[in-house]
């Protein structure tokens, strides 16, 4: 998968018992593969398979357990379309690529050399510390400048190391307050201007719940769609979402209504 002119959709497929909004829903290989295939049918450009929850305070899992959860799913799902592996662990990423994944979605932004060696695309996301500790210290001087500087440095290093395609992600909700998440979304045009394709993952996250006064993550899809559309308007290349169909339809409508959609073929 390569970044195109229009914003594409990455569907979230958490094969975990404890993810904050869909934990336990796709616990069997069959259920997860069915959900992944449905996401492709609904228009996902890539399905992101994860076996460890990274919600704030989540308990880490061993790479062995993570592999047990994700590898059979990647194997069965990857013939249907591009699959990314959402992991912080090198051994999980490597096994998933061997099982058919073509993108390493790396919330630790540390696996660039592995992506180079394996010759696959790499998403570098900004996070401070680990999921367990990240909300403990959300002090930044200038959050947008710090995040961008960090990501661009990692991105340039990865390109030098030979990664064929590098995507940058500001890591919405990873060690950031509600106000900082909003600032990062407002600053997306600057991140896009660095020339790297940009990924944004805000779907169902707690800042959407805070603003919409909605405690149930599964009732945050409309708020999440608003963020995805704003990210696309700011030039993001990929939005990571739970509700693939609504996001694909929303993006299509916005594109059809835009000035430069004169030649749009329906």
Residues forming contacts to ligand HH2 in the complex (CB under 6 A) are 12, 14, 16, 19-21, 50, 53-55, 86, 105, 107, 123, 125, 169, 171-172, 199, 201, 240
Q: How far is the CB of 21 from ligand HH2 (least distance, A)?
A: 6
Q: Strands across the sheet with 166-169, in order? A: 166-169, 121-125, 103-106, 83-86, 46-50, 8-14, 238-241, 199-200
88 Cβ neighbours under 8 A, 6+ residues apart: 52, 54, 106, 107, 108, 110, 111
Q: How far is the CB of 86 from ligand HH2 (least distance, A)?
A: 5
Q: How far is the CB of 125 from ligand HH2 (least distance, A)?
A: 4
The DSSP code for 60 is P
- Nearer CB in complex with ligand HH2: 169/221: 169
Task: Residue 222: count other Cβ atoms within 10 Å of its Cβ.
Answer: 13
- Nearer CB in complex with ligand HH2: 243/266: 243
Q: Which residue is nearest to ligand HH2 (CB)?
A: 201
Which phi and psi (to 5°) does residue 54 adopt? Answer: -115, 20
- Nearer CB in complex with ligand HH2: 15/118: 15
Measure the CA–CA gap between 80 and 200, rounded to whole angstroms: 24
Which residues are designated catalytic?
A: 205, 240
CA 93, chain centre distance (Å) = 15
- Nearer CB in complex with ligand HH2: 125/143: 125
Please state, in angstroms and as integers, the Cα–Cα distance from residue 159 to each residue in 66, 85, 152, 192, following that order: 28, 20, 10, 17
């Amino acid at each position: 998968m390569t970044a195109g002119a229009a914003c594409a959709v990455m569907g979230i497929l958490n094969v975990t018992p404890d993810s904050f909004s869909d934990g336990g829903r796709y616990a069997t290989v069959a259920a997860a593969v069915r959900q992944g295939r449905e996401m492709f049918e609904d228009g996902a450009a890539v399905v992101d398979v994860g076996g460890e929850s990274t919600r704030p305070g989540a308990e880490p899992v061993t790479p062995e357990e993570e592999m047990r959860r994700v590898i059979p799913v990647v194997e069965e799902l990857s013939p249907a379309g591009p699959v990314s592996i959402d992991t912080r662990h090198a051994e999980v990423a490597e096994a998933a690529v061997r099982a058919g994944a073509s993108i390493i979605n790396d919330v630790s932004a540390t696996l660039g050399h592995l992506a180079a060696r394996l010759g696959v695309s790499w998403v570098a996301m900004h996070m401070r510390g680990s999921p367990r500790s990240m909300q403990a210290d959300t002090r930044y001087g200038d959050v947008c400048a710090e995040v961008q500087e960090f990501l661009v440095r990692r991105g340039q290093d990865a390109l030098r190391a030979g990664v064929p395609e590098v995507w940058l992600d500001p890591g919405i909700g990873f060690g950031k307050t509600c106000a900082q998440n909003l600032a990062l979304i407002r600053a997306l045009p600057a991140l896009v201007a660095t020339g790297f394709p940009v990924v944004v993952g805000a779907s169902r996250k707690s800042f959407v719940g805070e603003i919409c006064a909605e405690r149930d993550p599964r009732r945050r899809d409309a708020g999440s769609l608003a963020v995805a559309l704003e990210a696309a308007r700011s030039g993001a290349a990929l939005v990571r979402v739970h509700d693939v169909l609504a996001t694909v339809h929303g993006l299509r409508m916005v594109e059809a209504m835009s000035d430069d959609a004169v030649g749009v073929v329906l």
